[in-house]
Chains A and B, each alone.
Chain A
Amino acid sequence: MASPVARPPQPRGFWARLDQLARASAPAALAVLLLLATGLPLGSAAREGGMPMTPLASVFFWTLYRPGLMPPWVVFGLGVLADLLTAAPLGVNPLLLLLLHVGVMTQRRALAKQSFLIVWIGFAVFASVLLALNWGIRTLLSLTIQPVAPGLFECCVTIAAYPILAYIFVSLERSLEPV
């Protein structure tokens, strides 16, 4: 397993470099696309907080299996983008995603070897804790008690959507070169 600071061999030639750049940025690009996709007008269910928080799944998956492709600054950038796009109070999503990143990093060795079901349960635990924190921070920042039900719903949808998102991530991961 490569350490996050190890330098990969430098590719020679323009096309090889371009290829490597594309591979290195693919997870982040997919995460941004999934984030944008949650804004599409899909009807009434989406209005009640019924869209999954895809950045949570993106950061969780890539930190767990390819931490080199999801460095902290990408996590931070994804969070800021999510804040700006959803008109959330600035700084909330970066904080949550970075905490997820740190949390997964500490549990990586134990979790990466487990079966999909265990990993899913792990994601559910992380998502629940972070979305509870999300509710707390938003309540603190706006100084009004935020409604609980949409947040709870969002949490359930996020956890339920993880297998589908993980399937997309796995197919992308397989197309990338092995570490």
Chain B
Amino acid sequence: MIRLSVPLRQALARLMLPALIAASFGLMLIGKADTVLVERVRTRLADVVVPLYAVLSRPIGTVTDAIVELRGLILLRSENARLREENDRLRRWYDRALALEAENRALRRVLNAPADPTPIFTTARVVADVGGAYARSALLVLEPNHAVRKGQVAVDAAGLVGRVSEVGNRSARLLLLTDINSRIPVLVERTGTRAILAGTNAPRPRIQYWTGPEQPQPGDRIITSSEAGAMPAGLPVGIVREGRTGLEVELFADLDRLDFVRVHDFGLSGILSADQSVRPAQRQRRTGG
């Protein structure tokens, strides 16, 4: 340790606080001005903490699973009846789906239409719910040589969850649909009306800016729209519900209990592309080549 005289040490100690407060404001400026740098530092940190979370989230997962199991045991009878009823219903749908698939295949053969490409996906474990009161995001743990890129779409078993907003070597940050910064182009399935699904940090995002005269009605199914090439079309999102402040969407995805998500590469450029902050001239060259 460097030996300093007592008055100098006292002066330094007194200067430290104002200097650090000034540094905080400096950081705010940097955070506003150089988002790429901040993002790089953030992903580095996420890469470091994600293995730690991956270890810690296992016992917690076991405990939550046990609680769910226990609740399942208590509600066994009613759950059984509900499942039997649902099974009957799904069996009818299954028959119908098989018939439609056969018909679809036949029609495609007639038209010589190419089949939709099967999307490539990576399954990732959600290890941390970071964000606090003002953001809705989650950290994913990934293998070192993963194929997850920024802007890719994450779905759980039931529906759309969110989009990848930052990617590191071993981690990725997922911006959930409920985050206040999330805007997703969607389609009202019944009417074909295009709209925007806007997160509000509340559990149900709001539906806004629909085109055309027909307003989405409570009960309508919402799916993604391929508007602007940001999303693959037709992923299930949720059901329109009447909220306190307007129309909201009850999500199919269970954002409260995210264990695994599939991150899909639909081969779309996305509006959150990696070269978002590159100068326009460079971007043009990249898209051209």
Q: Which residues of A contact B (CB under 8 A)?
A: 4-5, 7, 36, 38-44, 46-49, 51, 53, 71-73, 75-76, 79-81, 83-92, 94-95, 98-99, 101-102, 138, 141, 144, 146-147, 149-151, 153-154
Contact = CB atoms under 8 A, between A and B. Distances in A.
23 contacts: A5-B13, A36-B53, A38-B132, A40-B129, A41-B61, A41-B128, A42-B129, A44-B257, A47-B203, A49-B132, A71-B16, A76-B23, A84-B45, A87-B135, A87-B137, A90-B28, A98-B17, A98-B20, A102-B21, A141-B32, A147-B180, A147-B200, A149-B202
A171 to B, nearest CB: 21
B127 interface: yes
A151 B135 CA distance: 11
B64 interface: yes
Interface string B166-205: 1000000100000010000000000000000000111100
A10 to B, nearest CB: 9
Contact of B255 (A47, A87, A94): A47
B83 interface: no
A84 B41 contact: yes
Contact of B133 (A94, A144, A153): A153
Nearest to A139: B134
Contacts of B29: 91
Given A87-B130, A90-B31, 4 more contacts: A36-B53, A41-B60, A91-B28, A147-B200
B28 A141 contact: yes
Contacts of B20: 72-73, 75-76, 94, 98
B27 A80 contact: yes
B139 interface: yes
B38 A90 contact: yes
Interface string B50-81: 00110011001100100000000000000000
A39 B130 contact: yes
A11 to B, nearest CB: 12
Of B6, B21, B24, B31, which is in contact with the most chain A CB atoms at under 10 Å from its CB? B24
Contacts of B136: 47
A92 B132 CA distance: 13
B262 interface: no
Interface of B: 6, 9-10, 13, 16-17, 20-21, 23-32, 38, 41-42, 45-46, 49, 52-53, 56-57, 60-61, 64, 126-139, 166, 173, 180, 200-203, 255-258
Nearest to B259: A41
B24 A86 contact: no
Nearest to B126: A41
B47 to A, nearest CB: 12
B57 to A, nearest CB: 6
Contacts of B258: 41
Contacts of B9: 5, 7
Given A80-B27, A91-B27, A39 B129 contact: yes
A90 B129 contact: no
B247 to A, nearest CB: 17
Nearest to A151: B133
